[in-house]
Chain A
């Protein structure tokens, strides 16, 4: 919930216009919100202008995920992004008379997998319906969709809340997921001087398969929305059912935001926000919209919140009204007579399920069991290839924590610098990384030496050679023999009589100088703990 003018409002909160308010802790559940609100029940029944009333946002998301099938959903046209306009069209997807849709099997398979990935119930019988509206981007005058028998319903995903928002996991309900076809793309050119405005239509996208995923109104903040979107995209990418690219529109989120006094059952007037190109933008857009609506209610102008679609203006960092919804559109849904119902037998669903990879949720649980810190887990799970790489390293015997640490730290940093290098094509093989980490874990080489040789390994300068051999060749093995270290320490003390005298005279600060000198003398190979211990003993001998 949002505290609108609580006991210690933020300074900005007092100003008129859009206000930024402290977010509620993500850990508080709706149940808790309810009990909290009982106390101020009478407050909530009064008008929204009451400064003491606390508000909460109710947010649900409809996400359109373009499936990455080779063809469109109902014809054989290629489904590709960014080609010359109207080059992937045929009589069927252009809605020519005498053409009929034929459903692609790949679409069904991917939709079922997505449904299973959302922990939803995949209906053994679902059907297609026509959603009818006239619009130039819709060649047939109706969209083939699923109305009352979606392919999957009643699921959830567990969303990891960023640490800076309090961390933890929130379960977001999934109402349904259904298959439908995409519309064409219109580009509008406004009037200029005497030239009237016009629009160009590109039907390359018309008929491309979509899965629309409808969430329960379980989210309360912009960051939760962003975290949900990111998790959904992760799922889509892991399942390889889509590329989840927000800026290319292969994943599009329409976010429904309403604000209500905490404790009230009924939802406020919902506003749809769309056109957000990143999860970051989504988070900001939703927070802006929540603030906008809350401020309106607080100013007693709640009736200015109308059912409408607002678009996120990235440049001005605000939402802008796009179109008002006048009444409820009547889509005149009815069963698509050109397509028979979809009926799955158990074997088909099982086949789809068995072809699914391990999903982020399961991987997170597995890594947590290995004792990896949550931050490392999040970084690893972000990228399917990274997970595969890490798992390969684990299989090669890598110590988990050590390996996760190096992988998410130095290796990722190197990858970030060396653009165009994918994890899978990195010269450092998972086996090498595993050996590398084992050598450090076992104290054969020091972390310092590790940092030194890692760039060479990453750049593939040593080829497929074993890391042990490289260490051996270069003589980089850590010196853990006390006698050898003693000799090194002795040499250092002998070489620096002046400093030794000063130290023994009480100048403790010089300890660091000797530590450094010993490390240098050993070529960085001296076991730090051991050499420290011996050095201290020798230094203090004559005190």
Chain B
């Protein structure tokens, strides 16, 4: 199979390390301030939605889907060599999709709620017109025979797919450094990682290389990079969206979700993703599909205390030991803002909180060791052996997972972890009867330097402590901008994580939307 035929750009140059410094020099000119300006240009204060604006402009003839798509593709060409968000881009396909949308507009048809929205898709989500590598050398030339459900939903609602974004191999990592196709940089500081594993999607959205992106979240892989890159990341309730077409990492926790510039965009994308149902994922929870964005008001329609009546809880354990002081400060400030919006905020204690991380890693790695056993290097093309195909982190996780499941150890590891999972889930569920949502950091620190934790996997794993309990419990959570911290003269975003009740994405999005709009003036970046 000839790679060049299918993709217009494949960024093999990432392998050249020497470019790193040069890229960084060039990047200096395009700093956080430019990102900020970029954001301001596309969003007005009362309506931060890029998707709504693009859709409206196309429908009302101010621009065309083709022009929008070309602009994004140009942006990718201009910036991606430096930041490395994408593994594969598909310009020709994207333009073709855009043309067909413009034709629909001309015919007076409605292309859907994602009209002209340019998407970047995390490369562990299958799409039939491109490669799906999952960041692995092993799937280097793997082309999925089918679109994942979420990709076909985006296409059906008028979205345009620009390409596939970089990730830690099979989603295994928190830095996007464990990809076979290079390291992605954080747009806010090129020396830093964008977070992971959906680092490519988060950096693409932060850099406006796309209007919105899809990521996947197994232990925080949407939320942590959203926090590090200063964008909005939503992890829906486990079972809300079909996993069909998502390359499995840990089946019990894998979820697909949107990475966007605003909460409203997140709601629109979620609505689109929920619009189609199929039977191809048995863990799907059948709910009535709803239009999440219909309930979101513009700023001018807000009551003076839009969150009045809501009760929030700050988990004490999330602002204690092991969490950077600045990060804790941002969460406490956010709590004050939320109180100002009329909500009550309490401190609660969850004694099981710290048990979640080890339990998560045992369960996720056990499932991963099993899910990855299908890559036998006989089918699916690519490498001739697993040894050659898998990266170091993946091998480490397969070994640990196999060990945790092996005879004589599974009761000490796997079964105890299951028990802990039940405890964590029960405790959070119990607290959520009293509270509408938790607020907590998305990660214990802002984006850290590349290679900082590459040789210390445990340090990297512990960075997931703010997110994994949510996956263990299947709850929905969203990360919005919580502020920023200054580090060596560079501004770094810090996200605020809001965790809601299961299948109450509507309420969660309303809360996040109100918070986002009402704090925009202060946080704005």
A: which residues have CB within 8 A of B?
91-92, 94-103, 130, 132, 134, 136, 139-142, 328, 330, 332-334, 337-340
Contact = CB atoms under 8 A, between A and B. Distances in A.
B405 interface: yes
12 contacts: A97-B126, A97-B132, A97-B144, A98-B125, A98-B248, A100-B244, A100-B280, A100-B281, A103-B282, A332-B369, A338-B251, A339-B283
A141 B376 contact: yes
Interface residues of B, number: 42
B373 to A, nearest CB: 3
A102 B407 contact: no
A473 to B, nearest CB: 63
Contact of B405 (A92, A134, A332, A337): A332
Given A97-B374, A136-B378, A338-B248, 19 more contacts: A92-B280, A96-B380, A97-B126, A97-B132, A97-B248, A97-B380, A98-B132, A98-B148, A100-B281, A132-B370, A139-B374, A332-B402, A332-B405, A332-B410, A334-B370, A337-B250, A338-B282, A339-B283, A340-B283
B379 interface: yes
A3 to B, nearest CB: 41
A337 B252 contact: yes
Given A332-B407, A334-B414, A338-B283, A136 B252 contact: no
Contacts of A91: 144-146
A179 to B, nearest CB: 14
Given A141-B374, A337-B367, A332 B406 contact: yes
Interface string B357-388: 00000000011011011111011100000000
A96 B199 CA distance: 25
A337 B251 contact: yes
Given A96-B145, A141-B370, A134 B279 contact: no
B118 interface: no
A97 B283 CA distance: 17
A94 B145 CA distance: 12
Contacts of A96: 144-145, 380
A130 B280 CA distance: 19
B231 to A, nearest CB: 25
A185 B345 CA distance: 62
Contact of B373 (A136, A140, A334, A338): A140
Contact of A98 (B247, B250, B367, B402): B247
B206 interface: no
A339 B134 contact: no
A340 B370 CA distance: 17
Contacts of B450: none
Contacts of B132: 97-98
Contacts of A140: 373-374
Contacts of B281: 100, 102, 338
B167 to A, nearest CB: 13
The A interface is mostly helix, strand or loop, or mixed, namely loop
Given A334-B405, A337-B367, A100 B410 contact: no
Contacts of A340: 282-283
Given A101-B282, A328-B407, A334-B405, A95 B244 contact: no
Contacts of A98: 125-126, 132, 144, 146, 148, 243-248
Contacts of B407: 328, 330, 332
A97 B373 contact: no
B410 A334 contact: yes
A100 B374 CA distance: 13
A97 to B, nearest CB: 4
Nearest to A97: B247
A339 B251 CA distance: 10
Contacts of A136: 376, 378
Nearest to A338: B251
Nearest to A103: B282
Nearest to B134: A97
Interface in B254-279: 279
B142 interface: yes
Interface string B417-430: 00000000000000
Contacts of B243: 98, 100
Contact of A130 (B142, B247, B370, B378): B370
A96 B244 CA distance: 11
A509 to B, nearest CB: 84
Q: Which of A96, A98, A100, A141 has the most CB of B within 10 A?
A: A98
B65 interface: no
A102 B244 CA distance: 11
A101 B282 CA distance: 7
B139 interface: yes
Interface string B129-173: 000101000010010111010000000000000000000000000
A332 B376 CA distance: 18
A207 to B, nearest CB: 13
B280 A142 contact: no
Contacts of B410: 332, 334
Contacts of B125: 98
B370 A95 contact: no
B80 to A, nearest CB: 25
A295 B369 CA distance: 46
Interface in B188-246: 243-246
Given A334-B366, A334-B410, A95 B374 contact: yes
A330 B408 CA distance: 10
A386 B407 CA distance: 51
Contacts of B142: 97
A134 B366 CA distance: 16
Q: Which of A95, A332, A340 has the most CB of B within 10 A?
A: A332
Nearest to A201: B378
A134 B282 contact: no
B247 A141 contact: no
Nearest to B148: A98
Nearest to B144: A98
B373 A132 contact: yes
B370 to A, nearest CB: 6
Nearest to A331: B407
B279 to A, nearest CB: 5
A90 B11 CA distance: 31
Nearest to A100: B281
A334 B134 CA distance: 25
Closest 9 CB pairs of A and B: A141-B373, A337-B251, A332-B405, A337-B252, A97-B247, A98-B126, A95-B374, A98-B245, A330-B407
A97 B379 CA distance: 11
Contacts of B252: 337
Nearest to B372: A141
Given A99-B244, A100-B282, A94 B144 contact: no
A67 B148 CA distance: 30
A333 B406 CA distance: 8
Contacts of A99: 244, 280
A451 B501 CA distance: 81
Contacts of A95: 374
A60 B508 CA distance: 57
B282 A97 contact: no
Nearest to B245: A98
A134 B374 contact: no
A332 to B, nearest CB: 4
Contacts of B248: 97-98, 100, 338
A101 B280 CA distance: 7
Contacts of B139: 97
A140 B379 CA distance: 11
Contacts of A94: 379
A332 B366 CA distance: 9
A138 B367 CA distance: 17
Given A96-B380, A97-B134, A142 B283 contact: no
A94 B407 CA distance: 28
Given A97-B134, A98-B245, A330-B407, A142 B282 contact: no
Nearest to A94: B379
A407 B142 CA distance: 63
A102 B278 CA distance: 11
